[in-house]
């Protein structure tokens, strides 16, 4: 009788332990629709031929209310940026009088699991740019208040990675 009771107790404890295991699929339980403000960005550049890696982290004081990603329910998105955040520093665009011009880019988007696909429909202030084609980002976290997007770009003998942290606006 004691052996049966002990086995039932052990089975019950194991059931409780396994049911408490973190469900990673639940980490993307929020809706992407809404306005998301940037509060942190990690930028990394790895130069293959030079075996060099550069890291830059921008925290919330680097951003303002012009740094956001807005997703509509009609599969369109708008990105606004107060500058170009790169591994060597933040670059800003200005007019001839020194007034900062915010970058505003428009996209169509699709979410499939943890993959966010963006297709550019308008790029500003790069007036002579061509449509680069769809870009995919990984949704590392999406809940009701926070979103983290990860993006990798290959080019010029280097690999650039961007991990951007967002907080949902009101």
User: Which CATH number goes with the domain that contains 115?
Assistant: 2.40.128
Q: pLDDT tens-digit profile of 113-124?
A: 999 999 988 766
User: Is residue 57 situated within a structural domain?
Assistant: yes
Q: What count of Cα atoms within 13 Å lies in the side-chain half-sphere of residue 164?
A: 22
pLDDT > 60? residue 23: no
User: Is residue 160 situated within a structural domain?
Assistant: yes
User: Is residue 26 situated within a structural domain?
Assistant: no
Query: Which range marks the domain in which residue 125 is found?
Result: 36-168
pLDDT confidence of residue 49:
67
Q: pLDDT tens-digit profile of 153-167?
A: 888 788 999 999 999
Average pLDDT for residues 94-121, to the nearest whole number?
Answer: 89
User: Is residue 12 situated within a structural domain?
Assistant: no
Average pLDDT for residues 143-160, to the nearest whole number?
Answer: 92
User: Is residue 30 situated within a structural domain?
Assistant: no
Give the E-state strand segments of 22-142 in sequence order. 34-47, 52-58, 68-71, 76-81, 84-86, 89-91, 93-94, 100-101, 103-112, 115-122, 135-142
pTM: 0.76
- Domains in the chain, number: 1
């Amino acid at each position: 009788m004691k052996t049966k009771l002990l086995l039932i107790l052990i089975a019950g404890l194991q059931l409780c332990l396994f049911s408490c295991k973190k469900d990673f699929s639940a980490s993307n339980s929020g809706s992407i629709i809404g306005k998301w403000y940037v509060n942190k960005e990690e930028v990394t550049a790895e130069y293959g031929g030079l075996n060099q890696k550069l890291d830059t982290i921008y925290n919330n004081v680097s951003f303002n209310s012009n740094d956001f990603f807005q997703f509509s329910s009609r599969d369109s998105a708008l990105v606004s940026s107060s500058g170009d955040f790169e591994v060597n520093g933040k670059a800003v665009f200005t007019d001839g009088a020194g007034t900062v011009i915010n970058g505003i880019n428009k996209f169509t988007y699709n979410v499939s699991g943890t993959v966010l696909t963006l297709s550019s429909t308008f790029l500003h202030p790069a007036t002579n740019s061509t449509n680069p084609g769809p870009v995919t980002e990984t949704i590392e976290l999406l809940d009701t208040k926070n979103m983290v997007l990860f993006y990798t770009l290959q080019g010029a003998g280097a690999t650039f990675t961007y991990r951007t942290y967002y907080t949902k606006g009101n």
